[in-house]
Structure 1
Amino acid sequence: MARPRPAADDGKQQVARNPKATHDYHILETWEAGVVLTGTEVKSLRSGKASIKEGFARLANGEVFLEGVNITPYEQGNRYNHDPVRTRKLLLHRKEIERLIGAVEQKGLTLVPLELYFRNGVAKVTLALGRGKKQHDRREDLKRRDANREMARALSHRGRE
């Protein structure tokens, strides 16, 4: 008799998130891309030592590159350890890259990484196509979030009485 599969287990191990991306950008679309890494980078990522807060993606010669992502050098590495902030190539399908080129060059949008993770042992990054928010947009988002929080708090207190 077959065993039932565990629910919502897609083999995903999160390494790093970029919460600032949703604060600074209106997210329009997302893609999952593979990341080309060296051996010591993979070992360092598996121990959770990465930061994608300053990261962005750049298009060059029909390819996509991830820049500004800091992967701490592996502690047990030797003199051939990797550069922490080197440019890393992203793996996407040709049609996805062509669509990204059109959006970034013609509409003035930006590619930002949302999260870095392992899916079934392979390093992946979730890329988002975003438009930068203005200062007043950020303030409105904060006001809306605070109002929703106050409303939820008031409703929860109301239920207790």
Structure 2
Amino acid sequence: MPKKSPEDRKVVATNRKARHDYLVVDTYEAGLVLTGTEVKALRAGRASLVDGFASIDGGEAWLENVYIPEYSQGTWTNHAPRRKRKLLLHRVEIDKLAGKSRETGYTLVPLQLYFKDGRAKVEIALAKGKKEYDKRQTLRARQDAREAQRAMSLRAKMGE
């Protein structure tokens, strides 16, 4: 069976607040080490990346504080909802992220959790925290662009 294009991915959770709170410098796709009940809960479309972050500890990448609820049909084998999960990255990527995240102001935040070719993946971003005025400036620019688009579409309709 041929592999699907990168656009063919089933998104489970998106951290929309991350792009508002952080300036995304670089993104990486990482695999996740999960238990069976975690995969089943994700396939049911349940997860939250809101308080999640990634860290480099002992030469390994970890995803922390991401909420994957317990699987409803699970028994005593169920997982802890906010446990630390290992990220699967290449050594070069881990070393690069470790060096950058040690710099002041940089952090690793998850942007998206999805399935690609049947495997759970997470898109993590090397990001720099925005100041309050940067957030307002971004919102203002987005609002101005939206108003300009409305004006152009209104003018195009009037011209017809």
Smaller-chain TM-score bracket: over 0.9
> Which residue is equivalent to 1:124?
121
- CA drift of 1:10 comes to 4.9
* Mapped partners of 1:87, 1:44: distance in 2: 16
**Which residue, 25, 30, 33 being the options, matches 1:28?**
25
1:1-161 map, 5 Å: 8=5, 10-161=7-158
* SS class of match (2:51): coil
- 1:119–1:83 distance in 2 versus 1, CA, 3 Å: same
* SS class of match (1:23): helix
* Mapped partners of 2:134, 2:115: distance in 1: 33
- CA drift of 1:13 comes to 1.0
Q: Which residue identity is paired with 2:85?
A: R
- CA drift of 1:106 comes to 2.7
* Mapped partners of 2:157, 2:34: distance in 1: 53
* Mapped partners of 1:83, 1:131: distance in 2: 30
* Residues 64, 84 of structure 2: 8 Å contact kept: yes
- CA drift of 1:108 comes to 3.6
Q: What do you get for the CA RMSD once the two structures are aligned?
A: 1.6
- CA drift of 1:107 comes to 4.3
Give TM-score scaled by structure 1 length.
Answer: 0.93
* Residues 10, 119 of structure 1: 8 Å contact kept: no
Name structure 1 gaps, 5 residues minimum: none
- 1:144–1:35 distance in 2 versus 1, CA, 3 Å: same
Q: Sequence identity of aligned pairs in percent?
A: 51
* SS class of match (1:73): coil
- CA drift of 1:141 comes to 0.4
Q: Which residue identity is paired with 1:102?
A: G
* SS class of match (1:70): coil
* SS class of match (1:21): helix
- CA drift of 1:111 comes to 0.2
* Mapped partners of 2:22, 2:43: distance in 1: 28
* Residues 105, 129 of structure 2: 8 Å contact kept: no
Name structure 2 gaps, 5 residues minimum: none
